[in-house]
Structure 1
């Protein structure tokens, strides 16, 4: 295959691979510093304000599939193009391993359709080994990242409340939306058993932040990406504003094969396969920044072999791909009998939870390390595809005016009546927790399989440990305690060890991190504390790969903060001519 190479005159200061949270933030900060930047994205351009991309406010029945997904795994109108399985882009698993890898192929990546739960890591989260002796501490602490969390809060916007909880650091918050009825019931029940429920912290604008974006109009459809840019998506809030500076060139439908290097082992650029003509192209730059997602960046580095990097770029330690870990996750649901057949009204709110439970047992001695937070859902949002499923289980709780079971609705009018009865009376909760990073959980190149672009694919090796299983067991005990305190009918039986206590498969929470972790020792880490490769000083990683551990928090806000920090370091090092 011939490679189309740019001339030296067209070389960039920085090439950024990936346009999600990390890549997007890097593009904005570097462009504002006056650097010439290329952003290389494997998917297509995406702008939710454009008619061809707009899905907000459209009812499910306008879809020919009634909202069911094809290339959009969460439904036709969800702003997620990609999924765990993408045609022509396989991955493999080692024997006995479970890992499902989500890829988002679009400008802005996963930030188009995430829950926008924007939590800071706390002081304990960077130094967990000091508390439980497991894993490793980060080479940085909360005090190093806090100034960048502040900057992210102010630039992007996040609502919340000042709570003064040590390991749930407060930020610069916009006013939070009021709890909906089911959330008031959750808080009332949780208060009885001393489990905290506080306003959520979501990156959705409840007040204006700047002239680039509108404010939330409470349609509860953030998962579709906002046409007024009121919620945070990297494409609309970071990449497109950076492009307006005239310093950023965007290359879409470009599947990066490898980072190229010179005889000294320093990065010179990237090669990519254009999905439009299947030809290979090369871009040149002084600095390469990988923000393609933790596993995709690791894949690019492992595929970037050369005489100076025989085991892959930045992999002299053999740690690229190691310590892969995802959030834990388990869910439970109940019915509130006194909320059946309740009055219908609009309580849509923002596209996510208005309240949540932060981890509240840091000081308690449990049979598992690390913790989890609880996300809540329910209410009377727009019914989506599959709404009303499970009625055979739920309708046994419907009684007539005499307290007797109502005759089976079955189908037609009876089924409609049953669904209307339950609408707004269901409530659910999801635990999202921290797993312990393991050297034995990793991804590597499968040299026997290539994707349709001829690029070797990843092979995953991953198993949960007893730590995660015991944590999931505790989640369900807590769920039942809260639902019981609310007076809810708990649906289903508590899963046991044969069901891994209801723990989702690794990769299903889509929070994977840790494949290019940072550290002070080049023998046991890939990057230094500025996310700069130990083996290649002009290569940086700004996605979830640098994470040493994950906390029970969603990783996006920390990815954004670390990317800003790394971007400032790149600017400084270029000025000093160190790279």
Structure 2
């Protein structure tokens, strides 16, 4: 007999855990499906293993199971991941797919928890007001159908329910808010001190980054112990705010969640006329195929996987599924400072940032850059293998040169990065690869994307400001990544099932319901309409709370 549920949630990660929690607490019987394991804390008790997590990607999707292909343009032959990793084949978590299993991408993330600014929701209008309509970039840039004010209560809910540390008053350019963060900032990394001092001497306004990491005990979870294994790693003490330790346990506690790990959805089912969702087919860890029914199916996997499921299920009536692919270019800038920074200590983002050049505040410039970015100091969570990959490209990476460089410089490294805007463009999209298939015979997702001149110019412009800060810090040497880096995935990939009011230009409505199929929702970063310089996760989770509220109103 075919099983029936009040709701099916596909992907128990950043947004899926939240939606499952909200629906089960309201009494709905929910089936939760995730292609990864249902992790317990015992799985992470010994996690200080750079080979296992950083180099071999123990908790991320593997190319042998989840192939993704990439090409720069339509006339090129796609390459299978890990095309971004270079000859060493590292599974560096910033340049591929996110972690899978309960908690999803919040297992591996560096936990930077930013709200988008007011102007980020009206980017097209803000650029036209500042530079004139003739300066608007080519492509499909649009304003969001919701404003910052609409989402502000849900941002606050994320900060309170998931647990965010920070101090809002330190940032004069931050968006308006009703309340401060529920926890103070985490312990500052030693390498951040010279960054803050230099920034202030330059007239900038450094502020401590908001993080989804406990600085003090919060809701029964302990404070961070500064182990130095954070981005790319699970947390062994539950200090990192991942839905694996927040929302998923709360949903389980209701008794209304039937969680089935190692279960991969193969197809979304619809009514005969295609207008309403009826359920899904999935294959379990033993290879057995199941069909389950529900009038409510919520896709909360990673944005790219949401798109792949829609496409393999034939859901793309208006040709918008997979369009408007956007990602982040980090523009990594590495310095060697005179004083020890001990970058192996503390969390990745136990540091500060400056918003003086961000969003619509981007200074007038000779490169035609229309939208700015924060500049973010990185002080911790740098282990030796990753440090090797960050080495000065002018230094040989073998023999005595390698040994002496690491001996003399590793403990003095400081990093900065920005997250420059990647405007949506018809040349940037996802579809199904006609040749590459996964082990279940389904097409791999294919990404078509290349860095546009504005992308490269944005990195160059932000690099000028980073260089000023590095010089003011007294850096003995420094170097920066190329403006057009080899990666085209960043785990910050968004926009591919855009929200909007018009089905001709969008895939879902504000709440994530797919225009062409009633009862089917696609929630997450894929809904983003434009993309500024901030980490996406807090906005993804705010949208999840917004969608959950709507679903309960409709129930």
TM-score by length of 1: 0.82
Match of 2:222 among 211, 214, 225: 214
Aligned 8 A contact 2:395 2:402 in 1: no
Among candidates 92, 106, 112, match of residue 111 of structure 1: 106
Gap change, CA 1:449 and 1:218, over 3 Å in 2: closer
Residue 560 of structure 1: how far off its partner (Å):
0.5
Shift of 1:108: 1.5
Does structure 1 residue 281 correspond to structure 2 residue 290? yes
Shift of 1:382: 7.1
CA distance in 1, matches of 2:411, 2:193: 13
**1:179 deviation in Å?**
2.8
What secondary structure, in the 3-state scheme, does the structure 2 residue paired with 1:443 have?
A: strand
Q: What SS does structure 2 have at the residue aligned with 1:155?
A: helix
1:383-422 correspondence runs (5 A):
383-385=383-385, 387=387, 411=400, 419-422=406-409
Shift of 1:453: 0.9
Name the SS for the 1:208 alignment partner.
coil
Matched, 1:267 2:289: no
Q: Give CA-to-partner distance per residue, 1:459-512, whole Å, 9 cap, x none.
A: 2211221211110111221221111111102334x66xxx5x2545321x2100
The CA distance in 2 between the partners of 1:394 and 1:304, in whole Å, is: 49
2: CA distance, partners of 1:152 / 1:270: 29
Q: Distance in 2 between matches of 1:389 and 1:34?
A: 49
Aligned residue number for residue 75 of structure 1: 55
Superposition map of 1:429-444 within 5 A: 429-444=416-431
Instruction: Find the counterpart in structure 1 of residue 91 from structure 2.
Output: none
Contact conserved, 1:321 with 1:444, CA < 8 A, in 2?
A: yes
* Change in CA separation of 1:443 and 1:480 when aligned onto 2, cut-off 3 Å: same
Corresponding residue SS for 1:107 = coil
Name the stretch that deviates more: 387-396 or 130-139: 387-396
Bigger mean CA deviation after superposition, 33-42 or 186-195: 186-195
1:26 aligns with 2:25: no
Work out whether residues 190 and 379 of structure 2, in 8 Å CA contact, stay in contact via their aligned partners in 1: no
The one of 452, 473, 483 aligned to 2:470: 483
In structure 2, the partner of 1:123 is: 118
1:90 Cα deviation after fit: 4.5
Asked if the contact 1:121–1:169 (Cα under 8 Å) also holds between the matched residues in 2, the reply is no
Q: CA deviation at 1:241?
A: 2.0
Distance 2:214 2:458 in 1: 34
Q: In the aligned structure 1, how far is the partner of 2:7 from the partner of 2:413?
A: 50
Evaluate the alpha carbon distance shift between residue 387 and residue 125 of structure 1 in structure 2; reply closer, same or farther with a 3 A threshold. closer
Q: Find the residue that maps to 1:432 and give its secondary structure.
A: coil
Three-state SS of the structure 1 residue aligned to 2:7 is: strand
Alpha-carbon deviation of 1:417?
A: 7.2
Decide whether aligned partners of structure 1 residues 527 and 392 sit closer, same or farther in structure 2, where only a CA change above 3 A counts: closer
User: Cα distance 1:388–1:149, how it changes in 2: closer, same or farther (>3 A)?
Assistant: closer
Report the Cα offset of residue 389 of structure 1. 7.1
Q: Which residue of 1 aligns with 2:525?
A: 544
Find the residue that maps to 2:488 and give its secondary structure.
Answer: coil
- Give me the CA root mean square deviation: 2.8
Q: Is residue 553 from structure 1 mapped to residue 534 from structure 2 by the alignment?
A: yes
User: Is the contact made by 1:80 and 1:110 (CA closer than 8 Å) also made in structure 2?
Assistant: no
d(CA) in 1 for partners of 2:550, 2:106: 24
- Tell me how far apart the structure 1 counterparts of residues 405 and 296 of structure 2 sit (CA, whole Å): 60
Partner of 2:46: 55
Tell me the distance in 1 between the aligned counterparts of 2:344 and 2:69: 42
Q: Using the alignment, how far apart are the partners of 1:527 and 1:388 within structure 2?
A: 43
Q: Deviations over 1:142-185 (max 9, x none)?
A: 11100111111111111111235345445531111343332110
> Paired residue for 1:165?
172
- Paired position in structure 2 for 1:399: none
Q: Deviations over 1:347-380 (max 9, x none)?
A: 833453321223535343342122222222246x
Instruction: Tell me: CA distance 1:243–1:520, structure 2 relative to 1, closer, same or farther (3 Å).
Output: same
Gaps of 5+ in 1: 1-5, 61-66, 306-311, 397-408, 575-579
Question: Which of 349, 352, 362 is the equivalent residue of 1:352?
Answer: 349
Deviation at 1:448, TM superposition (A): 3.3
C-alpha contact 2:65 2:438 (8 A) present in aligned 1: no
Larger radius of gyration: 1
- SS of residue matched to 1:235: coil
Instruction: Give the Cα–Cα distance (whole angstroms) in 2 for the partners of residues 168 and 384 of structure 1.
Output: 37
- How far apart, in 1, do the equivalents of 2:390 and 2:213 lie? 32
Q: How many Å separate the matches in 2 of 1:453 and 1:423?
A: 44
Secondary structure of the corresponding residue to residue 197 of structure 2: helix
Match of 1:95 among 70, 75, 91: 75
Displacement of 1:37 in angstroms is: 0.7
2-side partners of 1:562 and 1:357: how far apart? 26
Of 175, 181, 194, the match for 1:185: 194
Label 1:393 to 1:292 Cα distance change in 2 as closer, same or farther (>3 A). closer
Secondary structure at 2:411 match in 1: coil
The answer as to 2:516 corresponding to 1:518 is no
The answer (yes or no) to whether the contact 2:13–2:106 under 8 Å persists in 1 is yes
Deviation string 1:40-88 (CA, Å, 9 cap, x unpaired) is: 10112212x21x44334x4x5xxxxxx335xx4x236x763325x3446
What is the SS of the residue equivalent to 1:38?
strand
Structure 1 pair 484–178 and aligned structure 2 pair: CA distance change class (3 A): same
Q: Aligned partners of 1:392, 1:469: CA distance in 2, in Å?
A: 21
Q: Deviation of residue 95 (structure 1)? A: 3.4
How far is 1:527 from its partner? 0.8
Gapped regions of structure 2 (runs ≥ 5):
85-95, 129-135
**Structure 2 counterparts to residues 273-352 of structure 1, below 5 A:** 273-274=283-284, 276-305=285-314, 312=315, 315-337=316-338, 339=339, 348-352=345-349
Aligned to 2:87: none
